[in-house]
Amino acid sequence: MLRKIRLGILIVLGALLAVMGVARISGAALPGLPLPSLSDSLTEAAVRGDTAGAAAMINRRCRLLLGTERRECFEGALLDLTRQGYVRFAIGALDRLGQTDSQIRKFGHDYSHVIGINAWAPGKEIGATYLQCTELFQSGCYGVLSRRDPGGVGVFRHG
């Protein structure tokens, strides 16, 4: 009897490991493991203007995660795009993600803030960055304007 139980446990563990392996190979992040890279694939999607494809890649990567890990997975992908200068594309991918995921819709303003705040950096033209934002999720992207200058005065200095 004990042999049958052990065999059953080994079969279940083997099947679980196989499912996890297939999920990982297909690009899914697994709890407790480092996130698989999406940078090249996301860049290719951005160059093609394929927000649906980018959203699908991001969703495949993050779908098995929960809570903070899931949020950080989505944020990381959107930040990859933003840091490469694809701000409007990141907003478009966020829109696509929100169309199929209620949690993205619920926290969409926060995600768009993350994009907006990270879209601008000293030396970049603030107006051009501002124009890449959209009204999506109550225009959280426009939070880019809340960035303060190094002196903390709250005024952007040009030149």
- Selected residue with higher pLDDT from 98 and 13: 98
Residue 127 domain flag: yes
Q: Are residues 6 and 44 in the same domain?
A: no
Task: Identify the band that residue 126 occupies on the pLDDT scale cut at 50, 70 and 90.
Answer: confident
Residue 157 domain flag: no
Residue 79 domain flag: yes
Which domain does 42 fall in, by range?
37-146
Q: Are residues 16 and 46 in the same domain?
A: no
For residue 83, pLDDT over 60 is answered with yes
Backbone phi, then psi, for 13, in 5-degree steps?
Answer: -65, -40
Quote the CA–CA distance of 157 and 134 in Å, as a whole number.
24
Residue 151 domain flag: no
Residue 156 domain flag: no
pTM: 0.71
Residue 67 domain flag: yes
User: What is the CB neighbour count within 10 angstroms for residue 110?
Assistant: 14
Q: How many domains does the chain have?
A: 2
* pLDDT score at 9: 76
User: What is the rounded average pLDDT for all residues in the chain?
Assistant: 78
